Structure 1
Amino acid sequence: MSPLFPIGSAPAPKVQISMGELPGYVSFSQAPTKRPPWHTIREVSYGSSATIMLPDDLHHLVWDSVTAEISRPKYAKVIMRLEEVLKGEFFTEYIKKGNVLIISEGEPGVDDSFSLKEGMLRMELSKASYESAGLQGVPVSTSGGRKHVKSRYLVEMNLRLPSMLRGKPGFDRLVWAAQHTLNRSLNWLFLDLDAGYLDLDKDLSGPLGAHHPTVQTLTCSVQELSDVLAPSVLAAFPGHSPALSQDEMQESVYEMLEYLDMVALASPRLKATDQTDSFISRYVVPDASENSNTVKVLTWNGLISSRWILEMPDSKHSRLRNLQTLAMEQHWLAISISSFKTQALHQIDGYTILLQPNRSDGPSQGAKHDVSGSTKTREDETEMTDQDRDDPLTGGIVAPDIGKTSGAQEVPDVVSHRPGFQRFLCAEYLNSLG
């Protein structure tokens, strides 16, 4: 029997799940680079929104300390041509010497779009623009297996190289292309990572001010959801348990992610008093706990850098407080990030990270056991070597493609008892916005 609706030719979205333990100590200025969830955070350089969800009692316990340290970045919206990015003081101060994030308007896979991070200029061009510009690039697939999709080309150039100066053939060719082919005025978002976030106003009299920027401050909007039910596993997800089949574990993960999405949307379906007709909405909180709680939802919208997310000190402060004074269902915190679209395919479009305390079935208090049976005290956990930071297999399960891959790898549970969040669940969303 043929399906009721034709099967779409667009690439199917994917969700990549990783679970594991948080280390006893993390320096946010030197966070791990390869281990989840820090690797996922670093991969999303151009965030468009950030949402933090946590119970109200936990918010009162830790958020005052977080607010005292959290920065309020400022970003700017400017109208420029690519040529203006590549010349004068703007090029020297912000690209050669500084560290800025810049992203242009344009839909990847359709329009010519530009982005710049750590001096690397990335240009995704149509075939006509690419051939007219005369730059060296590589073809990129934006079809996802679909037919009759026009070719696209990717050009990447490191503008911090010594050869990227006036009079050098490669740079002069780029400037010529910016003057004669890629010469449209575009809206750009600009974030100076070296300005201490709060000093962007000083740039109005500098190279950026010549382009009459509109400066925006990243501000937080707060919603309070009262009388909210929560899944019983939200604060104590069992992870890879022999009692659960692969399908059951995947279903539990999807239910938690769906619940967090509903919280971010402030859906009234989560209220204990909700009596919506099932004909309108069939959603119910899965395996809801008996008690309802109040949940705080904090949202930031704008150009958000991965460094700002890494500097969020909520998990650090939560370990300095005695969370045992709270009910068990209050022991969770989730952060959800959405990204600006910079690639037509194979981009992490966003992620959700759920922080949880230790499982009740964990090891005994005060020590942790490694594979050889020896023990390490809590003091041994206060520092991590670079090798420990970059080991992607330490402490958890990594399921690359939930729903299709059953080869999850289990690593012995080595979490010792300590206050605060100890475990994480990280979900990456790929091709979800296409």
Structure 2
Amino acid sequence: MPAKNSLKTLMVSSAVVSLGGLASGMASADYSDDVVRIGVLTDMSGIYTDLSGEAAVEAVRMAVEDFGGEVNGVPIEVIYGDHRNRADTGASRAREWYDSEGVDMINDLSNSGVALAVAAVADEQQRHAISNSASNIGLTNDYCSPYVTHYTYDAYSLAHGTGKSIVEDGGDTWFFLTVDFAFGIGLEEQVSNVVREAGGQVVGAARHPLDTTDFSSYALQAQASGAEIIGIASTGADAINAINALAEFGVTPDQRPAALLLWYDDIVSLGLETAQGLLLTNAFYWDANEETREFSQRFHERTGRMPNMAQAGNYSSTMHYLNAVEAAGTDDADAVSEQMRQIEINDFFASGGYIRPNGRMVHDQYLWEVKSPDESEYDYDFLRLVKTIPGEEAFQPLEASTCHLLDND
């Protein structure tokens, strides 16, 4: 694990240090270390760098700056680190941050294995963790806690968005290309359940390692399966490589790929010529309305790219956490957790959003179709809205959750 002094630290507001006297002392009396410290634990060097990485850190910085750089007279500090897509590295870094660095909340958590490992540490340490970049629904089931929030999306919402829509459109037989760790396996399981419940059939699956570059053999297995739909239960570079391989080596005219977690960034990488017609479920699109456009243009000025749903979620969830800290008048985790579950979320990311007792943030999801090159009228004009999925339908019913915080008897 990198040495502690390799962590890069940003003091968002130094001006508040000059606030002295009795008023400042009273304001900070209920804040540990006289600072609210947020850690962004993300992929800075691996397969998910483009989906989270530095842009995720920048989204959190934007939220802190827009909040004013301080809460109740106490400065807000942002640090970040690389989990290297290893659950043990993520858990170790989280423990170090909570124990030695005074971190109050960890955000982003790309990679489901990392997110589940950090969730366990957050529960043990009674500190907050918010996942915006992981899909595994264990975060609101067996790994739930009062301190863990699953904010942007999850495997259930993807399965009941993209998967269900394709089955309803006649895609009855499925074969999966699945990345072989918690994220891919969980996504395959969720979509398989949707397919079977709708009367469809899963004819097989091929598991591939994370960060696979050669998908030719997997594409040929998919072709040989005869399935109508090739479900790609991976994301990022793996999903891009799989889609390109299916186009080059694989699918017959009677088969079509279904990217179960396709990011805005993936469409940029694939290009509209290759990605056109693909359906995807996403919680956010930069060009959805005036509010999303205003945030996205500011984000673009800072990063040179439009935000994806996780980056937008990092901003929104950081702002929600800080609103809860302000309302609680302390960074005490239990008091903040109570406020996070009481305050409604209304911003460019969600309207009427709220956090359930098991930590699931409920908000609308959207089914999009990738436009053809001819349909795209201006820069970054990539998606067409197919339908809105109400939050209560998009996410696992609370009564189905296995979270120990619930009384489901």
TM-score, normalised to structure 2's length?
0.27
Larger radius of gyration: 1
Normalized per residue, the structure richer in strand is 1
Normalized per residue, the structure richer in helix is 2
TM-score, normalised to structure 1's length?
0.26
